[in-house]
């Protein structure tokens, strides 16, 4: 049985004449329950009106720019379910409360717990990594009463404690070692470095400690209440902690991050480590096997190689850094092939046996099976989101495969007062993506008008040389049939690169063939991660080649290679001779 159903605007509390800013469906569209139909905007926030029934849209009864009130018909659908009772469907009060939670938030902060909870806050943030603490601090700055829940004893999450920051400290040490050795060709010779793994790790931990101590102070200054414990949802407005305490909340931001993925069937042996364990250097192994040729594995390979380990990298696919433009990876591979013991592509680990003398590893490749013995094995085969480790289903939050939680442009889950950001919200697992999502979620929770609408998200491999890219890649352009033109500038023609003894790199920009606008770019060479931000800004602001080339860059710098690449596209480059250009 089916019939026409009119969906109406729910109770809007004190709001009237609310503007319709976006129509999300059209006649003929098939909608499921909870699919968003239209977006309304009050002076407090935006809100989507969801479908309470599944069916096919017959008519859209409002227009963009129009104004509506509670009870106005939004969309008429031909319902596909049998339980529709009457021709007009009124969203139930419980559903209205969930929809309006972000709109009708009281201006008065609530610090007292509800009768059945230990703590209460307007906003609870689960996870204190870059996404979590950014969300908590931004919400506090906007006047919200915030609780920040972190499972570890210190703030900062994976990034600050066992990821981005400590690994970059070790990579800096590796860079110093490599550069000192390279200077021998230029008349400056140093003795063989003496590595003190304990002291080196102590310095690394001190760097981390300064960062985490700073976060604790920032939380205190903002009056963000920090609670340490493992949080799980008990309902749509309650959390249970592993210490027995409970937290009630009006809104929640899930920022629980991800964890390293591990291969199955490995022996339980302390010499088999993930990216966290790899940061503990004592002892530095004579032979290291890195399983996985992605960014994290290759960064740690750089560290251990500089410290004296003979490094072998095994990658299942036929390329290092799978998905990265091959021309960006090529200079890196040319260098590390001389430094590493072996790079085995198209190869997988089919077995590991732990013995008293080492780890016997069976490698299965294109040319057959081989057995090798290593002192340490680093498993770096990706990360897995933690979205399915929070009992989120008890709050009604839909969790997909691999622990990913789907969100809209406001970072809201299918339960509007619960947000998700960072690694578990899908997309690249990058701290800088998480922090931008965090501010959006916090601002929407506080009633601000905000949305995540980034045109590009930069990626950086902090290897030696560094590799960075942003926006459209050549690999993506070719796959999607995007018409583009590439302009590149080799660092062999850069005075600054030559003075650093690092002429292996280059800078490339991708342009729209018609408009000349920057679509993306890639850089390989020292400090590529710092340089790529200019290309990201160009993509974000819709700059064209002339915008970049007419911006005066300091000389001699590596940054001017970006301007030179733009000039190469425009045909105005004088630092190289490129015939047959348009100007």
Q: Which residues are catalytic?
A: 555
Task: Quote the radius of gyration of the chain (alpha carbons, Å).
Answer: 27
504: its two tokens: 């292996």
Return d(Cα 96, Cα 10) in angstroms, integer. Answer: 6
* CA angle 411–412–413, rounded 5-degree value: 120
Return d(Cα 438, Cα 157) in angstroms, integer. Answer: 14
- Please report which residue ranges of 457-525 form alpha helices under DSSP H: 474-480, 495-499
Distance of CA 428 to the CA centre of its chain: 4
Distance of CA 37 to the CA centre of its chain: 29
- Please report which residue ranges of 375-499 form alpha helices under DSSP H: 431-445, 474-480, 495-499
226: its two tokens: 């920090």
* DSSP summary character for residue 25: -
567: its two tokens: 């000039």
Return d(Cα 279, Cα 164) in angstroms, integer. Answer: 11
Return d(Cα 447, Cα 42) in angstroms, integer. Answer: 9
Q: Could you report how far apart the first and last alpha carbons of the chain are, in Å?
A: 69
CB 140 within 8 A of CB 223: yes
What angle in degrees, to the nearest 10, is found between the helix axes of 326-339 and 295-306?
A: 30
Q: What is the largest CA-CA distance in the chain?
A: 89
Q: Which residues contact 213 (CB under 8 A, 6 or more apart)?
A: none
- Backbone dihedral region of 244: left (phi > 0), alpha (psi from -120 to 50 degrees) or beta? left
Neighbour-count burial of 32, counting CB atoms closer than 10 A to its CB (0-12 exposed, 13-18 middle, 19+ buried): exposed
CB 54 within 8 A of CB 89: no
Return d(Cα 487, Cα 567) in angstroms, integer. Answer: 8
φ/ψ of residue 124, rounded to 5: -115, 135
Return d(Cα 38, Cα 78) in angstroms, integer. Answer: 17
CB 60 within 8 A of CB 23: yes
Closest Cα partner for 250 from 410, 413, 100? Answer: 100
């Amino acid at each position: 049985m089916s019939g026409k159903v009119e969906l109406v605007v729910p109770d809007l509390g004190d709001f009237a004449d609310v503007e319709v800013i976006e129509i999300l469906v059209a006649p003929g569209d098939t909608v499921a329950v909870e699919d968003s139909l239209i977006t309304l905007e009050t002076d407090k926030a935006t809100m989507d009106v969801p479908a309470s029934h599944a069916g096919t849209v017959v008519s859209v009864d409002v227009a963009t720019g129009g104004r509506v009130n509670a009870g106005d018909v939004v969309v008429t659908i031909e319902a596909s379910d049998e339980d529709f009772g009457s021709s007009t469907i009124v969203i139930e009060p419980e559903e209205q409360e969930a929809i309006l939670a972000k709109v009708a938030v009281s201006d008065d902060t609530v610090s007292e717990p509800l009768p059945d909870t230990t703590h209460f806050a307007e906003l609870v943030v689960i996870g204190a990594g870059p996404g979590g603490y950014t969300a908590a601090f931004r919400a506090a700055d906007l006047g919200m009463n915030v609780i920040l829940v972190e499972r570890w004893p210190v703030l900062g999450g994976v990034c600050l404690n066992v990821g981005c920051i400590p690994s970059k400290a070790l990579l800096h040490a590796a860079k110093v070692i490599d550069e000192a050795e390279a200077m021998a060709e230029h008349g400056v010779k140093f003795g063989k470095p003496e590595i003190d793994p304990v002291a080196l790790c102590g310095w690394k931990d001190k760097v981390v400690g300064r960062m985490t101590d700073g976060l604790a102070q920032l939380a205190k200054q903002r009056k963000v209440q920090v609670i340490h414990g493992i949080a799980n949802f008990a309902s749509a407005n309650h959390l249970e902690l592993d210490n027995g305490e409970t937290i009630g909340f009006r809104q929640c931001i899930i920022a629980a991050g991800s964890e390293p993925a591990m291969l199955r069937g490995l022996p339980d042996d302390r010499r088999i480590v993930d990216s966290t364990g790899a940061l503990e250097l004592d002892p530095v192994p004579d032979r290291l096997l890195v399983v996985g040729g992605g960014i994290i594995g290759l960064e740690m390979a750089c560290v251990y190689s500089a410290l004296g380990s003979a490094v072998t990298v095994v990658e299942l696919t036929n390329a290092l850094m799978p998905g990265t433009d091959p021309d960006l990876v090529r200079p890196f591979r040319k260098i590390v092939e001389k430094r590493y013991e072996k790079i085995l592509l198209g190869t997988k680990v089919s077995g590991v046996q732990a013995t008293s003398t080492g780890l016997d590893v069976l490698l299965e490749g294109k040319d057959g099976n081989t057995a090798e013995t290593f002192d340490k094995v680093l498993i770096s085969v990706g990360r897995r989101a933690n979205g399915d480790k929070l009992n989120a289903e008890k709050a009604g939050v839909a969790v997909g495969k691999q622990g990913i939680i789907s969100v809209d442009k406001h970072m809201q889950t299918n339960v509007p007062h619960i947000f998700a950001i960072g690694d578990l919200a899908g997309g690249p697992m990058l701290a800088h993506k998480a922090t931008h999502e965090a501010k959006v979620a916090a601002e929407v929770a506080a009633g601000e008008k905000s949305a995540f609408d980034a045109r590009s998200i930069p990626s950086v491999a902090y290897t030696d040389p560094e590799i960075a890219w942003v926006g459209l890649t050549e690999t993506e352009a070719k796959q999607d049939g995007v018409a583009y033109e590439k302009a590149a500038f080799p660092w062999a023609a850069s005075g600054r690169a030559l003075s650093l003894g690092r002429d292996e790199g280059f800078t490339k920009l991708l342009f729209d063939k018609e408009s000349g606008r920057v679509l993306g770019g890639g850089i390989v060479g020292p400090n590529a991660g710092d340089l790529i931000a200019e290309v990201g800004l160009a993509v974000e602001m819709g700059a064209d080649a002339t915008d970049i080339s007419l911006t005066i860059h300091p000389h001699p710098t590596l940054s001017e290679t970006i301007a030179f690449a733009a000039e190469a596209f425009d045909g105005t480059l004088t630092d190289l001779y490129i015939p047959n250009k348009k100007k």
